[in-house]
């Protein structure tokens, strides 16, 4: 799992990268939770997402937002972090010019940044959003959402109650041409402390479904 160092607007961006085995391997970018709450690229959920894509042959990159770990800069309330994510996706795409698909996956704050990135990258084929903080950040920019994806939420999440996430899901589902899967995991909290295996099972099943569908297309 080689370390990579990218150059972003705030300086060095520290990342971990796994190269897919085929020339046209799909690519996936993984975005970690809130830097001010201890979020970083080695967060268990972020690592789980990384491995899920890696096991399915993707070229996968996860990285630390500015000011986290050995990434330079300071926390920028999402604006700079979105720029970091765009830099990381640029690098991922230029390293894999023949990639068959492009995915973005994020957890918590990373889900919010990831959804914004989708809006700027209409070439994105799919997304995974785990525990998106829809009660803390404005998600009204998702109009229209350019890709189908999975939103994974815990029923026992007290940080972002499910009702708040369902509001956004309902709005997204009114759009034509995309399909939003919403998976509510019984008893899981915002941090997935006892339910990491559910993240693996549910996200894995969704990816398998989507990859099978694209193989048939």
What CATH number does residue 24 fall under?
3.40.50.1820
What is the distance between the alpha carbons of residues 188 and 69, in angstroms, rounded to a whole number?
28
User: What are the residue ranges in the chain where pLDDT is below 70?
Assistant: 1
| Total domains, the chain | 1
Q: 105-145 pLDDT, tens per residue? A: 999 999 999 999 999 999 999 999 999 999 999 999 988 89
What is the rounded distance in angstroms from the CA atom of residue 208 to the CA atom of residue 113?
24
- Pull the structure tokens for residue 194: 């006892």
Residue 61 backbone dihedrals phi, psi, to 5 degrees: -125, 130
Residue 104 and residue 88 in contact, taking contact as beta carbons nearer than 8 Å: no
Nearest to 148 by CA among 107, 180, 194: 180
- Give me the pLDDT at residue 143, please: 81
Taking the C-alpha atoms of 123, 126, 128 and 129 in order, what is their torsion angle to the nearest 10 degrees? 50
User: How confident is the model at residue 217, as a pLDDT?
Assistant: 75
Closest CA to 110 of 74, 137, 149: 137
Which residue range forms the structural domain that includes residue 166?
Answer: 3-216
pLDDT value of residue 1: 65
Q: Can you read off the two tokens belonging to residue 174?
A: 């009114």
The values of phi and psi at residue 215, to 5°, are: -70, -30
CA distance 53 to 72: 27
């Amino acid at each position: 799992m080689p370390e990579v160092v990218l150059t972003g607007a705030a300086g060095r961006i520290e990342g971990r990268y796994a190269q897919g085995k085929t020339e046209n391997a799909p690519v996936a970018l993984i975005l970690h939770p809130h830097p001010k709450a201890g979020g970083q690229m080695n967060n268990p959920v972020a690592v789980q997402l990384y491995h899920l894509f890696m096991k399915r042959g993707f070229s996968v990159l996860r990285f630390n937002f500015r000011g986290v770990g050995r990434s330079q800069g300071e926390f920028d309330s999402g604006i700079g972090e979105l720029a970091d994510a765009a830099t990381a996706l640029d690098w991922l795409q230029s390293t894999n010019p023949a990639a068959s698909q492009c995915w973005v996956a994020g957890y918590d704050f990373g889900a919010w940044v990831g959804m914004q990135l989708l809006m700027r990258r209409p070439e994105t084929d799919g997304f995974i959003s785990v525990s998106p903080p829809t009660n803390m950040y404005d998600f009204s920019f998702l109009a229209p959402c350019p890709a189908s994806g999975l939103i994974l939420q815990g029923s026992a999440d007290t940080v972002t109650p499910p009702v708040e996430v369902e509001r956004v899901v309902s709005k997204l589902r009114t759009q034509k041409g995309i399909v939003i899967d919403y998976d509510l995991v019984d008893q899981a909290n915002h941090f997935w402390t006892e339910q990491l295996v559910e993240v693996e099972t549910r996200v894995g099943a969704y990816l398998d479904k989507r990859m099978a569908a694209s193989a048939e297309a």
